[in-house]
Structure 1
């Protein structure tokens, strides 16, 4: 009986489909946040999936197939998640430069359809607050993305 009680309080062992390292957990968290941003306006299109794959490949040095697989895992996890806090808790451990790079990727996905949606804006304000990126830094990241998009 004591062993059952002890096992209840012991840290859970990772399951086969759960990330088992800090890098893997970070990759899954970032991927889930990118998927959340793409789905914020209730339209999740192939172009946004491609941007997510590109962002994951660039951020983590993944092959296109690895990035697509990570995105697919994140889509499933994000659709079952009750909130984004478990992902932002991990993402806020990134360096300041990496968090700003993440915000740029999020803005690139959000602005890819050339429309700003109130849900997307609200999500970005919430995400930035949770990962400790200021409104000024987020605004600067958005302007850089808008400038890049306008140049083609």
Structure 2
């Protein structure tokens, strides 16, 4: 009877923020971590460290940003839209550093994963990195020379 008088309303979802370089980077880091359908604490911690260092954030602020990026990654545009934002707003040398950061997320659990590596290759290519730079970053991340 009370439900007829006071029907339950679905909560109004919060609108997603408009992606900028900061959110695009965070969402791509989350996307790399989720590529193998696992989201481990070591990957979350690495994302927080990257966001904190890249944007000079306190740990709590980095965690809040990551949470916002997780929501954006789930409901927002695909990889090409995020990488386009970064290509427009971030110089090549810094995009190369982003690739290194993304590899550190992929390797945070200490294991290679084909799905993560494919996701990384797709992102690096969409970021406009050269094949030579992609190979160098990959070798470095995997402990090669």
TM, length-normalised to structure 2: 0.81
Note if 1:62 corresponds to 2:57: yes
Bigger share in helix: 1
What residue in structure 2 maps to residue 18 of structure 1? 17
Q: Which has the higher contact order (CA 8 A, sep 6+)?
A: 2
Question: 1:140 matched to which residue of 2?
Answer: 136
* Cα RMSD for the two superposed structures: 2.1
8 A Cα contact 2:17 2:72, kept in partner: no
Which structure 2 segments of 5+ residues have no match? Answer: 1-13
Identify unmatched segments of 5+ residues in structure 1. 1-14
Query: Where has structure 1 moved over 6 Å in runs of 4 or more?
Result: none
Residue 4 of structure 1 corresponds to which residue in structure 2? none
Deviations 1:29-64 (A, max 9, x none): 000000000000111011101100110111111111
The alignment of Structure 1 onto Structure 2 pairs a total of residues equal to 130
Larger Rg: 2
1:111 aligns with 2:107: yes
Structure 1 length as normaliser, TM-score?
0.77
